[in-house]
């Protein structure tokens, strides 16, 4: 399918930036539906003059959303939040917004709809984040049955808020935590002697997926008929425990930061306090989310079904994590 105009909701975010650039590279005109077009102006140089147009849109208003999708061949919804504020709740952003966008996109005659949800979306989850992500998927399906739904694990890349956040923490903290339920317990070794397991199993597991792979998945769902009406679980080639993620960060940053276990009950206490920060490091709902592994189960098709070979984190992290290394590690000595 050829595309002339695509509307991208949430296109100024980390994943959105990559998708907008990839669409522009393919010669598509891109309408970027955002809250503040001025803050999204950095997207314009990613395409030719006039090819990328940020548009102020209020996703809670039918008329505003209808203007954004008018004349679009395809619509992509990337809207998502990790924590709630009084004006931006999980219900509003993860359920009501995709419901409205899908309904009005179908009414406007869009031929393709791609909705980016999250791996682990489940209405029976203890975390409201995962519950509302699942409800948002159902709302999209109700209005746009042939929509493609992508459920990525943690997305990483040069502008991510995952590895970069932990990398910045290595500059400030002597240790990086990983949350566990099974550390600090009495165990017996092969000889039957008692000891204390200080590390546990390593905490929750993640399967980080490269931002370029997720964007390519979106492109293929937009252009290939075979992927319509399907839901895809997107993960990288390897699953890591939280401890392994922290070890990888320390290795890439070339620092002597310790990686230490923290019981989940401590995380819950921390979250009750930190949730009141302007940009919370962790919230009670995120702690509940962390108690479940975020990995591909194989129950749904993944990147391979889209013809995409997953990119390993180890191949990409050195291209941007070097910024967190001690300054002397980046100095190149030249002979006089």
Each residue of 285-296: pLDDT tens digit? Answer: 999 999 999 999
Distance (Å) of CA 162 to CA 130, 166, 169, 305, 333: 18, 7, 11, 26, 32
Q: Is the pLDDT of residue 108 over 90?
A: yes
Q: Which two tokens stand for residue 156?
A: 């990483």
What pLDDT shows up at residue 333?
46
Phi/psi zone of residue 249: left (φ > 0), alpha (ψ -120 to 50 degrees), beta? alpha
Sorted by sequence, the CB contacts under 8 Å of residue 290 that are 6+ apart come out as 179, 203, 204, 242, 264, 267
How much of the chain, in percent, has pLDDT values that exceed 70? 94
What pLDDT shows up at residue 182?
85
Sorted by sequence, the CB contacts under 8 Å of residue 327 that are 6+ apart come out as none
What pLDDT shows up at residue 327?
75
The average pLDDT across 306-319 equals: 97
Strands 185-188 and 194-197: antiparallel
For 86, other C-beta atoms within 10 Å of its C-beta total: 5
Q: pLDDT tier at 227 (50, 70, 90 boundaries)?
A: very high
Q: Is the pLDDT of residue 186 over 70?
A: no
> pLDDT digit string (tens) for 39-86?
999 999 999 999 999 999 999 999 999 999 999 999 999 999 999 999
Of residues 327 and 34, more confidence is placed in: 34
Distance, in Å, from the CA atom of 126 to the CA atom of 289, rounded to the nearest integer, reads 7
Distance, in Å, from the CA atom of 109 to the CA atom of 273, rounded to the nearest integer, reads 47
How much of the chain, in percent, has pLDDT values that exceed 90? 89
Distance (Å) of CA 158 to CA 5, 37, 165, 258: 27, 23, 11, 24
What predicted TM-score, i.e. pTM, was given to this entire model? 0.93
What pLDDT shows up at residue 189?
66
Is residue 229 within 8 A of residue 145, CB to CB? The reply is yes
What pLDDT shows up at residue 196?
66
Distance, in Å, from the CA atom of 322 to the CA atom of 297, rounded to the nearest integer, reads 32
Would you say how long the chain is, in residues? 336
What pLDDT shows up at residue 171?
94
Q: Which two tokens stand for residue 159?
A: 């502008």
Q: pLDDT tier at 2 (50, 70, 90 boundaries)?
A: confident
Spell out the domains of the chain, with CATH numbers in brackets: 5-156+206-236+293-310 (3.40.50.720), 163-203+241-291 (no CATH)
Q: pLDDT tier at 5 (50, 70, 90 boundaries)?
A: very high
Distance, in Å, from the CA atom of 180 to the CA atom of 34, rounded to the nearest integer, reads 38
Q: pLDDT tier at 267 (50, 70, 90 boundaries)?
A: very high
The average pLDDT across 216-238 equals: 98
Q: Is the pLDDT of residue 184 over 80?
A: no
Q: Which two tokens stand for residue 330?
A: 């980046």
The average pLDDT across 221-236 equals: 97
The average pLDDT across 115-136 equals: 98
Lowest mean pLDDT among 81-90, 126-135, 239-248, 327-336: 327-336
Q: Is the pLDDT of residue 329 over 60?
A: no
What pLDDT shows up at residue 193?
74
The average pLDDT across 164-193 equals: 85
Sorted by sequence, the CB contacts under 8 Å of residue 164 that are 6+ apart come out as 320, 321
The average pLDDT across 267-291 equals: 95
Question: In degrees to the nearest 10, what's the CA dihedral of 139, 143, 149, 152?
Answer: -30
Sorted by sequence, the CB contacts under 8 Å of residue 141 that are 6+ apart come out as 147, 149
Q: What average pLDDT is seen over the chain?
A: 94
Distance, in Å, from the CA atom of 88 to the CA atom of 35, rounded to the nearest integer, reads 12
Q: pLDDT tier at 199 (50, 70, 90 boundaries)?
A: confident
Sorted by sequence, the CB contacts under 8 Å of residue 231 that are 6+ apart come out as 137, 148, 149, 150, 151, 300
The average pLDDT across 223-230 equals: 97
Handedness of CA 142, 144, 146, 147 (dihedral sign): negative
Is residue 277 within 8 A of residue 191, CB to CB? The reply is no
The average pLDDT across 95-120 equals: 98
> pLDDT digit string (tens) for 14-29?
999 999 999 999 999 9
Helix boundaries (H) for the chain: 14-25, 62-69, 90, 97-108, 128-143, 163-172, 211-223, 242-253, 264-274, 284-290, 313-316
């Amino acid at each position: 399918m050829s595309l002339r105009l695509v509307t991208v909701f949430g296109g100024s975010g980390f994943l959105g930036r990559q998708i907008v650039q990839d669409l522009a590279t393919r010669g598509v005109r891109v309408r970027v539906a955002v809250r503040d077009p001025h803050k999204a102006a950095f997207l314009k140089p990613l395409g030719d003059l006039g090819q990328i147009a940020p548009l102020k849109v209020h996703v809670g208003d039918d008329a505003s959303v209808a203007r954004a999708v008018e004349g679009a061949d395809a619509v992509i919804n990337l809207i998502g939040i990790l924590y709630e504020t009084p004006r931006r709740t999980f219900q509003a952003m993860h359920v009501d917004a995709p419901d409205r966008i899908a309904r009005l996109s179908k009414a406007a005659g869009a031929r393709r709809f791609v909705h980016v949800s999250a791996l682990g979306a489940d209405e029976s989850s203890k975390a409201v984040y995962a519950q509302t992500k699942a409800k948002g998927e159902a709302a999209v399906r109700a209005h746009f049955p042939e929509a493609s739904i992508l459920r990525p694990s943690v997305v990483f890349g040069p502008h991510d808020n995952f590895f970069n956040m932990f990398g910045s923490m290595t500059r400030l903290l002597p240790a990086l935590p990983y949350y566990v339920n099974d550390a600090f317990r009495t165990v017996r070794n092969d000889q039957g002697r008692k000891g204390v397991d200080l590390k546990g199993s390593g905490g929750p597991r993640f399967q980080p997926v490269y931002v370029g792979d997720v964007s390519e998945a979106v492109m293929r769902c937009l252009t290939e008929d075979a992927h319509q009406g399907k839901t895809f679980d997107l993960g990288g080639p390897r699953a890591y425990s939280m401890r392994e993620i922290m070890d990888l960060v320390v290795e890439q940053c070339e620092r002597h930061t310790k990686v230490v276990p923290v019981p989940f009950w401590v995380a819950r206490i921390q979250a009750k306090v930190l949730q009141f920060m302007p940009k919370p490091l962790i919230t009670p709902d995120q702690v509940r989310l962390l108690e479940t592994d975020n990995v591909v189960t194989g129950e749904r098709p993944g990147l391979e079904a889209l013809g995409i070979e997953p990119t390993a984190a180890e191949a990409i992290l050195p291209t941007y994590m070097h910024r967190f290394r001690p300054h002397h590690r980046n100095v190149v000595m030249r002979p006089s």
